[in-house]
Amino acid sequence: MEVKGLNIGYGKKIVCPNISFSVDKGECTAIVGINGVGKSTLLRTVGNLQSSLGGILHIDGKSVREMKPHQLAKKISLVLTEPVASKNMTVQELVALGRQPYTNWIGSLSTVDKKKIVDAIEVLELKELKNYKCFELSDGQLQRVMVARALAQDTDIILLDEPTTHLDLFHKVQILKLLKSIAHQTKKTILFTSHEIEMAIQICDKILILDGVENPFDEPCKLIENKSFESLFPSETVQFDGTTGTFRIQK
């Protein structure tokens, strides 16, 4: 996936200009930045839920904007922050909806579809939960179900909007480690927004820092070398410590 000089925003208002980055297969990338800088907007733009305001956005050399919904559905899958409209589905049924881009006009599942669903459920360790209804699950379990659905969609790229919100430390780490292993083992491109900068530094292959000006993008250690994290927050409140890769509260 290649992004060059992309402007994102709503209507005529540009939220964040000039974003450039490119990610390869098997890479796990985080998008970080302060509230309101446009992380989710960028993700929604890449997923073609809203249109870009100029710039290049290509997948496999093809422009995302020119792809039909059913073509794009085989390239990009999404995990959004919005809750699913109906939680009265079993885990298995919800994961199975991920196969929609491949099923026939009435949505019958083939043997291939069924295998992909079983695989996705297994990877996300949801086997015991597969007959539970979604309203019976905890936030962490539901998040895993949504990732399983995206995985079942079997796209090259998986976009996740704040997959770690509302989760405790253990479940945050669990989800992020799962994302990384999925990216490395299945050679998928994973791109997610997060406020967990310290964890992203430890886990991700690359990080895009949205600051609305330069929007640096690189490997975490190089970003630390370039002191890119230091200007992220006002230094009188929190300061970044490059040696440990953590933020310190200024007292």
Partner 1 sequence: MVNISFGSVSISFLDTLKALFGSELTNQSWEYIIWNYRVPKAITAILAGAGLALSGLLMQTLFRNPLAGPFVLGISSGASLGAAILIMGFSLFTGLLTSSLINDVSIAIASSIGSFVVLFLVIGIASRIKDTMALLIIGLMFGSITAAIVSVLSYFTNAESLQQYVYWTFGSVGGLTWTQLIILSSMILLGILLSVLAIKSLNGYLLGENYARSLGVNLKKSRFIIIISTGILAGSITAFTGPIAFIGLAVPHLTRQIFNTTNHKILVPAVLIFGSCILLLCDLVAQLPGQATVLPINAITSIIGAPVVIWLLMRKRKMIF
Residues of this chain that interact with partner 1 (CB under 8 A) are 47, 49, 69-74, 76-78, 80, 82-86, 88-89, 93-94, 97-98, 100-101, 103, 105-107, 153
Please give the Cα distance from 84 to 44 (Å, whole number). 16
Q: Which residue number, 144 or 206, has a Cβ lying nearer to partner 1?
A: 144
Q: Which is nearer to partner 1, 97 or 238 (CB)?
A: 97
What is the Cα–Cα distance from 218 to 209, expressed in whole angstroms?
Answer: 9
Q: What angle do CA 25, 95, 117 make, to 5 degrees?
A: 70
Minimum CB separation from partner 1 for residue 136, in Å?
A: 11
Nearer to partner 1, 105 or 170 (CB): 105
CB of 98 to partner 1, least distance (A): 7
- Report, in Å, the least distance between residue 245 CB and partner 1: 33
Residue (97 or 173) nearer to partner 1, CB: 97
Q: Helix 169-186 vs helix 139-152: angle between axes, to the nearest 10 degrees?
A: 10
Q: What are the CA-CA distances from residue 81 to residues 162, 164, 186, 219 (Å)? A: 7, 10, 24, 26
Q: How far is the CB of 142 from partner 1 (least distance, A)?
A: 12
Which residues lie below 8 Å from residue 242, measured CB to CB, with a gap of 6+? 224, 225, 227, 229, 230
Rounded-to-10 torsion of CA 41, 46, 51, 57: 130
Nearer to partner 1 among residue 145 and residue 207 (C-beta): 145
Q: Between 88 and 237, whose beta carbon lies closer to partner 1?
A: 88
Give 130 or 206: the residue with its C-beta nearer to partner 1: 130
How many angstroms separate the Cα of 42 from the Cα of each of 4, 15, 232? 13, 9, 18
